[in-house]
Amino acid sequence: MAARKFLLRAPRPGDLGWVVQRHGELYAAEFGWDERFEGLVAGIVSKFIANYDPQCERCWIAERGGRRVGSVFLVRKSPRVGQLRMLIVEPEARGLGIGERLVAECIVEAQRLGYRKLVLWTQANLTSARRIYKGLGFRLVKKEPHADFGRRLVGEYWELSLRS
């Protein structure tokens, strides 16, 4: 099925700005989140660029038909804990396995880099992402209500124990 083909690659110039822009646009359109969410993503990307350590961090851009359609980041939270951040898949590319592949790639690389645990923060209303996390073995460890992005939300903390 040619329509399902996509590739994962390292970021190139312009990709990280796209990550910020698309998070802001998509989450505003789909969930009504305000500019504070885009600001959070911009801060995460800025920190990633400023402190990037190729020994323990990664970013993948999903591409399909020459267009960016998704991303995910693996960042160092502590020497033994990696953090999955900023998973996104464009609406027209959903259902093709891109989100699951991005998360799976993150898990494999976290193991390869020697992390013992992978953690993430998401929102209860992001049902597709939550389904991916649960399906790949993450477990929900904590919930916390907040209104950080102009909406009442429930933040969720998930973790996955990794084999050494």
Domain assignment present for residue 121? The answer is no
CATH number of the domain enclosing 62: 3.40.630.30
Residue 93: which domain range?
Answer: 2-114
Domain assignment present for residue 91? The answer is yes
Domain assignment present for residue 43? The answer is yes
Domain assignment present for residue 160? The answer is no
Helix (H, G, I), strand (E, B) or coil at 77: strand
In the predicted model, what is the mean pLDDT of residues 40-57? 97
Domain assignment present for residue 109? The answer is yes
Domain assignment present for residue 162? The answer is no
% pLDDT > 90, the chain: 96
- Per DSSP bridges, beta strands 117-123 and 81-89 are parallel
Q: Is the pLDDT of residue 4 over 90?
A: no
Q: Is the pLDDT of residue 73 over 80?
A: yes
- As beta bridge partners, residue 75 has 83
Q: What is the pLDDT of residue 130?
A: 97
- Per DSSP bridges, beta strands 81-89 and 67-78 are antiparallel
Model confidence pLDDT, tens digit, residues 100-140: 999 999 999 999 999 999 999 999 999 999 999 999 999 99
6/23 Cα distance (integer angstroms): 20
Domain assignment present for residue 63? The answer is yes
User: Which residues make Cβ contacts (< 8 Å) with residue 48, sequence separation at least 6?
Assistant: 16, 57, 59, 73, 75
Model confidence pLDDT, tens digit, residues 75-98: 999 999 999 999 999 999 999 999
45/76 Cα distance (integer angstroms): 13
Q: What is the pLDDT of residue 163?
A: 80
In the predicted model, what is the mean pLDDT of residues 145-149? 94
123/107 Cα distance (integer angstroms): 20
Q: Is the pLDDT of residue 2 over 80?
A: no
Domain assignment present for residue 92? The answer is yes
Q: Are 69 and 99 in contact (CB under 8 A)?
A: no
- Provide the domain count of the chain: 1
